[in-house]
Amino acid sequence: MSNTYDVVVIGGGPAGYVAAIRAAQNGLKAACIDAWKNYDGTYAFGGTCLNAGCIPSKALLESSELYHRTQGEFAQHGIQLEGVSFDLGTMQSRKAGITRQLTSGIEALFKSNGVTGLKGHGRFLGNGKVEFTAHGGQPEVLESKTVVLASGSSPVELKQVPFDGEHIVDSWGALEFDGVPPRLGIVGGGVIGLELGSVWRRLGSQVTVLEAMPDFLAVADRAVAKEAQRHFKKLGLDIRLGARVQGAEKTPDGIKLAYEDAKGPQSIDVDRVVVAVGRRPYTDDLFGPEAGVKMDERGFIVVDHECRTNVPNVWAVGDCVRGPMLAHKASEEGVMVADLIAGKYGEVNYNVIPSVIYTAPEIAWVGQTEEQVKAAGVAYKTGSFGFAANGRAKALEAAMGFVKIISAEEDDEILGVHIVGPMAGELIGEAVLAMEFSASTEDIQRTIHSHPSLSEVVHEASLAVDKRALHGINRK
């Protein structure tokens, strides 16, 4: 095997493996180096997303939601269930099976596209040179015309609540629990806190979420956050806002988590703690002394809008660069860079990156919140429509939440779409496509939506923007 490439990608997560595949599709000789090691000692491509993030969390969210629905919803359908129980071991092995299928799928994709997959550590040395050390092997030097850095991110550790791998864990640890913790403390009420809090609550844990910010889900549109908070409360998540964690103490009974809120010092006793207070770019041992790649003060690799670093022919994509830490953003940057390297057109529209929280109800949005539009001083109009009057949502026993659309007063262009409700993560696709094409509210109004479907709520919300909803009251 020749050690000379057109593109060497360091990192095999959604940013890196996609960049390598697209580079090969573009006729370039590409290699992808990845160091990921699973708890069971196996090495796998796919990075955080496939091995310890998006995919395993969604597998457990689905299993736990199905179980939860047996605890009341089936009776609504007239289906009597007795003695329903679950086997966590089976849930966990189903999850591991899905992950394995998808990560080995990447190897198959590499093979069919002609990408050289290299399992081991990569280090950019500078001057088109990358050091590759296979697991258990000796370092060798690869030469490449271009290098793509896609080293991802790692969980932020709180010094006052350090991980111990057993009682105090990160999100990966919380996806691997082999028993349901009777009392679970979660530090951080963001995306991970809400998704994993939902999983373990549905399976029986008493879950307390300690969130430092005074507002619930501060990144979301306020109306959506308020509606979602109501449903999380109904599920039994005990979400404490403005709670600043001070420390964790091991007790004979578990862990005492001390925190401070507006009322003063407080504490909770729990069996296990998940710390989910964000992630930071991971670039440990990524560079040799001559690399010369510029980093910012928060540890992100500095890139321009097309993901070029300061070093010619070196690019960086995904969680290790600015922007939301999302798998689809990472992959689209990988595609853009691989196309630009091949001399083709490439672009990422950072204004229309969807966000989805896979709780029940799901939360999804794209574009600006009403608060952001207001702060920007743009004249706008909004329309909201609930799932309560939607036939499909009622049939699904999921008639909760709403769709909210924000459009510019001046030319009707859609500025933001916010959904809390059933299948919000799927419904948001229509809004993303509409915004990608700079659609107006009228474009959605004039688009036929199938009946009965959840998407009719998006249609009605677009009509509500102009106070013309057909199946609801239009408040002037």
The DSSP letter of residue 308 is B
List Cβ neighbours of 387 (8 Å cut-off, separation of 6 or more): 393, 398, 399, 400, 401, 402, 403, 421, 422, 454, 457
In the numeric block, the tokens 């030319």 are attached to 411
Q: Closest CB to ligand FAD among 275 and 444?
A: 275
**449 in catalytic set:** no
Only one of the segments 59-67, 259-267, 323-331, 397-405 lies at the binding site for ligand FAD (rule: CB under 6 A); that segment is 323-331
Residues numbered 338 to 377 that lie near ligand FAD (CB under 6 A) are: none
Q: Per residue in 255-294, is it b (16+ CB within 10 Å) or e — as a string?
A: bebbbeeeeeeeebebbbbbbbbebbbbbeebbeeebebe
CB of 459 to ligand NAD, least distance (A): 25
Least distance to ligand FAD, CB of residue 133, Å: 9
Among the residue ranges 149-157, 262-270, 409-417, 436-444, the one whose residues contact ligand FAD (CB under 6 A): 149-157
Provide Rg for the chain, Cα atoms: 24
Q: Which of 417, 420, 465 is nearest to 441 (CA)?
A: 465
Instruction: Number of residues interacting with ligand NAD: please give it, by CB under 6 A.
Output: 25
88, 109, 213, 408: which one contacts ligand NAD (CB under 6 A)?
213
Listed ranges 189-197, 231-239, 306-314, 399-407: which one lies at the site for ligand NAD (CB under 6 A)? 189-197
* Contacts of 111 by beta carbon, 8 Å cutoff, 6+ apart: none
Q: Does 117 bind ligand FAD (CB under 6 A)?
A: no
Which part of the chain contacts ligand FAD (CB under 6 A), choosing from 61-69, 282-290, 292-300, 428-436? 282-290
| Sole binder of ligand NAD in the list 130, 336, 357, 458 (CB under 6 A) | 357
Question: Do the beta carbons of residue 303 and residue 311 sit within 8 Å?
Answer: no
| From the list ligand FAD, ligand NAD, none, partner contacted by residue 13 (C-beta under 5 to 8 A by kind) | ligand FAD
Strand pairing partners for 380?
408
Q: Name the amino acid, one letter, at 149.
A: L
Tell me if 382 contacts ligand FAD by CB under 6 A: no
Considering only residues 7, 8, 10, 427, which one is a binding residue for ligand FAD as defined by CB under 6 A? Answer: 10
Q: What residue spans of 203-356 are helical by DSSP H?
A: 222-235, 327-341
Query: Which residues 32-91 are close enough to bind ligand FAD by CB under 6 A?
Result: 33-36, 47-49, 53-54, 57
Smallest separation (angstroms) from ligand FAD to the CB of 37: 8
Pairing outcome for strands 362-367 and 414-421: antiparallel
Is residue 325 within the footprint of ligand NAD (CB under 6 A)? yes
Q: Would strands 4-10 and 139-149 be described as parallel, antiparallel, or unpaired?
A: parallel
Q: What angle do CA 238, 239, 243 make, to 5 degrees?
A: 125
- Gap between the Cα atoms of 72 and 305, Å rounded: 49
**Least gap, CB of 43 to ligand FAD (angstroms):** 9
Q: Of the candidates 8, 28, 192, 237, which one interacts with ligand FAD according to CB under 6 A?
A: 192
- Burial code of 111-138, b = ≥16 C-beta within 10 A, e = fewer? eeeebbbbbbbbbbbbebbbbbbeeeee
Q: Which does residue 255 touch among ligand FAD, ligand NAD, none (CB within 5 to 8 A, set by kind)?
A: none
Instruction: Mark the segment that binds ligand FAD (CB under 6 A) among 14-22, 158-166, 229-237, 305-313.
Output: 14-22
Active-site residue (options: 418, 451, 459, 471):
451
Q: What angle do CA 223, 225, 231 make, to 5 degrees?
A: 110
Out of 144, 171, 205, 440, the only residue in the binding site for ligand FAD (CB under 6 A) is: 171
Between the CA of residue 218 and those of 104, 224, 251, 346, what are the distances in Å? 37, 10, 33, 32
338 vs 469, beta carbon nearer ligand FAD: 338
Where on the chain is the footprint of ligand NAD (CB under 6 A)? 158, 187-193, 195, 210-213, 244-245, 276-279, 324-326, 356-358
Contacts with ligand FAD by CB under 6 A lie at 10-16, 33-36, 47-49, 53-54, 57, 121-122, 150-153, 171, 192, 282, 285-286, 318-319, 325-328, 330
- As annotated, the active-site residues are 451
